[in-house]
Amino acid sequence: MGDFQLTYKKYGTSAVLIEWPEQINKRVLKDIQILFQKISLLEFEGIVDINFVYCSMLVIYNPTAITFNTLKARLKNVYNEEVQIQDNKRKRWRIPVCYEIEFATDLLAFAERKGISEVELIQLHTKPIYTIYGMGFLPGFTYLGGLPDKLFMPRKETPSLNITEGSVAIGGHQTGIYPQNSPGGWHVIGRTPILIFDSNRENSSLVSVGDEIAFYAVSKAKFELITLELESDVYKFEEI
């Protein structure tokens, strides 16, 4: 039996939007992951893809194979069914971040707007253990929950045209890592040399939804050393 009262809505012509109570917490995330595993185990006919983030799941289907009402009814049933699923162990990663100004284009302005020093900003950002609540809008982009309230900052009114791969940024109540060069509206406060997403790897994404991330500050010299180690394929990813 599911733990929450869910809503099921038609989304466009070929998707069902399932919504949990609007809460960002691990209990909701676990419930979403359980439903995802149930659907995957039962191999629903007609489902094309499933995406989820924070407190919603989008189930994309082939309308020539199944109707919205039929799929909606099946999704409701499976949510309340007792299905034996595997309890996936989450991983915790230590991710180095260089907060020096050349890597942190918005750090000084961010600290000034919050009325804190750059040192306090870095201390606040590296203190929590963050949880990955979703992946997108780019392949491998991490939406991390757990940002201290003191670091809340609305997204930029005018997005930056090009944010560098590896940039660590803050947007609203979230922090995240840009997996590739792209435009973006988040405030860049540092950069990691770690490639969170690499299409050349067997497992392209280093992390998964539900994993945890602990950031730690490194100098520019350490950043460059890790970069060289990554290029030489000798760097050891720090999984706790």
CATH code, domain carrying 68 = 3.30.1360.40
Mean pLDDT over residues 108-120, rounded?
A: 97
Residue 2 belongs to a domain: no
Distances (CA, A) of 89 to 54, 135, 179, 196, 215: 19, 18, 24, 19, 20
Query: Quick one: 127 and 19 in the same domain?
Result: no
pLDDT in tens, 14-64: 999 999 998 878 888 889 988 988 888 877 789 998 988 888 999 999 999
Residue 75 belongs to a domain: yes
Residues pairing with 53 in the sheet = 56, 134
Residue 1 belongs to a domain: no
Entry pTM: 0.82
Rounded Cα gap, residues 28 and 156, in angstroms: 28
Q: Measured in Å, how far apart are the chain's first and last C-alpha atoms?
A: 33
Average predicted confidence (pLDDT) for the chain: 90
Query: Quick one: 107 and 181 in the same domain?
Result: yes
Query: Quick one: 116 and 57 in the same domain?
Result: no
pLDDT in tens, 185-214: 999 999 999 988 877 777 778 888 889 999
Query: Quick one: 52 and 109 in the same domain?
Result: no
Among 15, 50, 80, give the residue marking a domain's end.
80
Residue 181 belongs to a domain: yes
CATH code of the domain containing 104 = 2.40.100.10
